[in-house]
Structure 1
Amino acid sequence: MATNTLRLLKELADIQKNPDQAIYVSYNEDDITNVRALIMGPPDTPYEYGFFEFNMQFPRDYPTSPPKVNAITTNGGRTRFNPNIYAGGKVCLSILGTWRGEAGEQWSSAQGIESVLLSIQSLMSANPFENEPGYEAGGQKEMSYKAEQEQYCQKIQHETFRISILQRLEGYMRINPSTGRVNPLEDISHLSPAEREAEEHKRAHLEPFTDLCKRLFRYYYPTYVRTISRERGKVQDGHQFATMPFEYGGNQMGGKFSYHELERRMNAVKTVIDAEADTWVKQGAEATKNDEGISASLQLQFNQTYQHFLGKFEGTVMLELIENNPFCWRMIYIGRPMTNLDGGLFRIKMVLSQRFPEEQPRVMFETPIYHVNITSDGVPYYRPRRTDDIKSHIEALIEVLENEQLSPDPRTWMNLDAAQLYFGKPEDQREYRKAFRRYVLLS
């Protein structure tokens, strides 16, 4: 095996084991030199929780030479998302050799996939206008460009929603943007289980980030809604985007604001994603009736997981299959005595796809809870150690409930009001604990 291939395999494995940086990779084992990467926009920026895709092509002499990187999230070559990320896909970075840099900023063999992607992610700052070479921080030009900086962030925020999130997810799920409904020509529910599985496998192969983006959308939907509500008060629908001094020809971000339309489309995407879980339940019941292999496999996994928690967490965790469907699990968590969860009883529903683990479970707290890591409508942020083992998913959910030292990383904050209290002043923290206990006692 070539040296560059061994190096690439190790780097890719390390990134997949550690998604803390919000960068994700996918590759075809038949051609490991061609990598697709997804970068999630950093919090507190106009790119916040957007999905930005890039293609990375690695030369034969990698890591002696850097990869060639091309931006894919460009609205078909019509939208420039950053002074350094062109509408045509060019990514200007000194470490890639696509932009002049200072001494020491050039590529070296010590750098790799992660350093390139983190460098691109760093371009997605709170003030991307400053990436323009003509910008001078702290100087007279900064003051003269103050209005442009704000206008630039406003249109990036709008197009992050429209292009990187909505266009992507509508494309994945074949949603008609005008109606919010799935295109009937693309509906595959009428196919036989085998035909449906083949078609879903084909689609997943073409779009490797489909399930990931759906899960991330469920996490950050409340943040999307809040941001849309905030931004629509700053701009008027129908108002044209301002053209920046560095934008020209086809290398710009043109368009107009329409937050009312974005809100409608955002809600339509959520409706379709939520409905998928019901479809999985029905398909699972059909698969169980037909005695398909995946059904027997999940039934065996349920039996083993049931016995595991019966012995390890006796009196704390109980499991059941809803209507004897191995694709639809319910976890019942009983709060341990002498803890903040004492007296609580929480029901958590887990729905599995026939393509598990390629498609991860849809998890929902049926019992309301006030928690930083759980949305107000019950979607938890959790990280299983093994994505292919449902026992690991359950253990991760238990950890979410029992962990009293929550992460300060805003990407884990599913309930923004709860996070504001938890990480606030002492009196705010007391209010959080009171609200948390109130929900526990009402459960």
Structure 2
Amino acid sequence: MANPTLRVSKELADIQKGSDLSLAVAVRERNVRNIRALIIGPPETPYEFGFFEFKLHIPSDYPFKSPRVQAITTNGGRTRFNPNIYAEGKVCLSILGTWRTENDGESWSTAQGIESVLISIQSLMSSNPYENEPGYESYKVTEPEAANYAAKIRHETLRISVIQRLESILAISDPTLDPDALSKTARQTSSKKVKYTLDDDDDGTPISDTSDIADRDESPDLHGSDDDDDEFDPFKDLFKHRFLWYYDPYLAAIERASNSVKDSQKFIMAPFEFGSNTMDGRFHYDKLKARIERIRNALDAETASWAEHSKLTREKHNSISHRLQRTFEQTREWYKTHSATNIELSLVDKNPFVWALTLIGRNNTDLAGGAINIRINFSLRFPDEQPRVKVTTKLFHHRINSIGVLCYRPEKPEDIKSHIEGVITAIEDENPAYDPRTLVNPDAAALRWDGEDGLKKYRRRLRRSVEDSWES
């Protein structure tokens, strides 16, 4: 039988090079058959912009047999995010063979692959997950039972998959928790972790001990199972960037949801939730908002620390500093010699790790007459740690949020000029395709895609902010 490694490698490369902002995959070089995958929750659902991680194991007879999948965003095995995504990690899908179906068209075939598995899982994250449970397909999202189920998923998506995950990465403790209780929870959970194995001889049956599930108060470092692959955590930098992208949508979701529930209101259990396979808890949106602000402040401080650390490397004649300095000079020279370009580049405090970019608005565009200032901060670990881009000129733009973070994507993440081109394209594009994953300014996006009248209002506000740019 053919070795599946070549096919798997190609599939992974296609996903990584693809334009889908909601999927990411990573592997360790020593074994491409053990895959870490990320699905970002679809917009306009209770899962909106949540970070949901999965482990995929590719069997030796792939593609004749489907991958085995384990959900690891489960709050340490305590939270079931969907009728088909269990707290112990099992994902029920017909194409995975973990869900019975009489329709052969819904079963696994060699024409399918890793991306189709991830898209199938993502399809479970709908606006009405209640209907995924057999026997409850007829419930509309407007009915109380389905609405209550969606409401608590929305809360826990923010709390567990976003806030708890970033707090873990940034080593931020939640001050609303009792340290003694948190320590006790961590000890209980570490001794009673629920595990869904992905070994070659796994028959797909969850292996778990649910007799003593830990208290639901979160322990920030308990986001996965306890197998040998736990130290592999490839999406840390991506989480930070996406959190900054979606800062406004997160706050907007909290604002909307907090108007429909009371503080400390208890979650309502769905009839199909039982034992450890539940989503139990209470609504605490005020606390979530405060925790989001702490994460943002921590990321701002981390970005500022990059510039400080880089000063030390310059004093020591560090090779990274020299490479960035040379890249800056080459990039600035390139733009100077191309008359069609409309940008100016400089270094902040002569620091090659902090670039200042000024974008001059082109004539006959909504940006005409504007001078848009942009700051690009580089880490000592670039390109493994991607630059952080902030538009310091206050601009009303669907791709720029209230804290100035720009949503853009470079064609080549390792190439600095590709980043600059991505920045320019994101800001200048006057006829963007509608992609809700890039709409990081909810107010601007609501106008931009609200028919002709909305578009006119959007353009007026954009032009007004451009005119003000000369005064800022």
Hey, what does 2:40 align to over in structure 1?
A: 40
Q: Which amino acid counterpart does residue 92 of structure 2 have in structure 1?
A: C
Aligned to 1:300: 326
Query: What's 1:121 paired with?
Result: 122
2:271 & 2:146 partners in 1: Cα distance? 11
Distance 2:467 2:141 in 1: 56
Q: Distance in 1 between matches of 2:104 and 2:426?
A: 46
CA contact under 8 A between 1:148 and 1:244: conserved in structure 2? yes
Q: CA deviation at 1:2?
A: 5.5
SS at match of 2:246: helix
* Residue 146 (structure 2) aligned to one of 141, 145, 149: 149
Asked if 1:402 corresponds to 2:428, the answer is yes
Give the residue type in structure 2 aligned to 1:269: I
Tell me, in whole angstroms, the C-alpha distance in 2 between the residues paired with 1:266 and 1:388.
29
CA gap of 1:32–1:381, structure 2 versus 1, over 3 A, is same
After TM superposition, the score normalised by the length of structure 2 is: 0.86
SS at match of 2:104: coil
Matches of 1:86 and 1:174, distance apart in 2: 27
CA drift of 1:382 comes to 0.7
Higher helix share: 1
Give the drift of 1:206: 3.0
Q: Residue 174 of structure 1 aligns to which amino acid in structure 2?
A: A
Q: 1: CA distance between counterparts of 2:120 and 2:274? A: 25
Q: Distance in 1 between matches of 2:364 and 2:373?
A: 20
Asked if residue 434 in structure 1 is aligned to residue 460 in structure 2, the reply is yes
Rounded to whole Å, the distance in 1 between the matches of 2:176 and 2:316 is 35
Any unmatched runs of 5+ in structure 1? Answer: 181-202
What pairs with 1:262-281 in structure 2 (closer than 5 Å)? 262-281=288-307
- The answer (yes or no) to whether the contact 1:228–1:263 under 8 Å persists in 2 is yes
Would you say the 8 A contact 1:23–1:40 is kept in 2? yes
Cα deviation 1:155-197 (Å, max 9, x = unaligned): 00010011000111111111111179xxxxxxxxxxxxxxxxx
2:186 matched to which residue of 1?
none
Query: Does the residue aligned with 1:115 lie in a helix, a strand or coil?
Result: helix
The equivalent of 2:111 in structure 1 is: 110
Question: How do 1:159-178 and structure 2 match up within 5 A?
Answer: 159-178=156-175
Q: How does 1:176-215 map to 2 (within 5 A)?
A: 176-178=173-175, 206-215=232-241
Distance 1:416 1:204, change over 3 A: farther
Which region of structure 1 is more displaced relative to structure 2, 49-58 or 307-316?
307-316
Alpha-carbon distance between aligned partners in 2 of 1:19 and 1:207, rounded to the nearest angstrom: 22
Runs of 4+ deviating beyond 6 Å: none
**Aligned residue number for residue 413 of structure 1:** 439
Query: CA distance change for structure 1 residues 379 and 238 in 2, over 3 Å: closer, same or farther?
Result: same
CA contact (8 A) 2:26 2:36 kept: yes
What one-letter code is carried by the residue in structure 2 that aligns with 1:274?
A: D
Q: Is residue 42–residue 126 contact of structure 2 (8 Å, CA) maintained in 1?
A: yes
Q: Secondary structure at the match of 1:75?
A: coil
Alignment partner, residue 221 of structure 1:
247
Cα contact 1:204–1:210 (8 A) shared by 2: no
SS at match of 1:126: coil
Do residues 248 (structure 1) and 274 (structure 2) align? yes
Which letter maps to 1:292?
Answer: N
CA distance in 2, matches of 1:91, 1:48: 19
Deviation at 1:311, TM superposition (A): 1.2
Deviation string, structure 1 residues 122-154 (Cα, Å, up to 9, x no partner): 0000000000011132xxxx3799211011001
- Judged with a 3 Å threshold, the aligned counterparts in structure 2 of structure 1 residues 166 and 4 are, in CA distance, closer, same or farther, namely same
Q: Which amino acid aligns with 1:157?
A: R
Q: TM-score, normalised by structure 1?
A: 0.91
- 2:433, 2:440 → 1: CA distance? 12
Unaligned runs of 5+ in 2: 178-228
Deviations 1:191-223 (A, max 9, x none): xxxxxxxxxxxx997321000010000010100
Shift of 1:422: 1.2
Q: Is the 8 A contact 1:315 1:334 kept in 2?
A: no
Structure 1 residue 62 displacement after superposition: 0.5
Residues 144 and 33 from structure 1, CA distance in 2 versus in 1: closer, same or farther, beyond 3 angstroms? closer
Alignment partners' CA distance in 2, 1:399 and 1:307: 20
Which residue of the partner structure matches residue 231 of structure 1?
A: 257
Aligned to 2:190: none
CA RMSD of aligned residues (A): 1.9
Query: Which amino acid in 1 is paired with 2:413?
Result: T
Partner secondary structure for residue 104 of structure 1: helix
Q: Deviations over 1:220-259 (max 9, x none)?
A: 0100001101111111121211111111111111111111
CA distance in 2, matches of 1:204, 1:253: 24
Contact 1:41-1:47 within 8 A present in 2 as well: yes
Map Cα deviations across residues 293-349 of structure 1 (whole Å, 9 max, x no partner): 111111111111111111125672110010111100000111122332221111100
The number of aligned residues is 417
Aligned partner letter, 1:161: L
1:99 is matched with which residue? 99
Q: Percent identity?
A: 49
SS at match of 1:432: helix
Q: 338-347 or 61-70, which moves further after superposition?
A: 338-347
Q: Partners of 1:72 and 1:313 in 2: how far apart?
A: 51
Given the superposition, is the C-alpha separation of residues 313 and 204 from structure 1 closer, same or farther in structure 2, using an over 3 Å criterion?
farther
Match of residue 418 from structure 2:
392
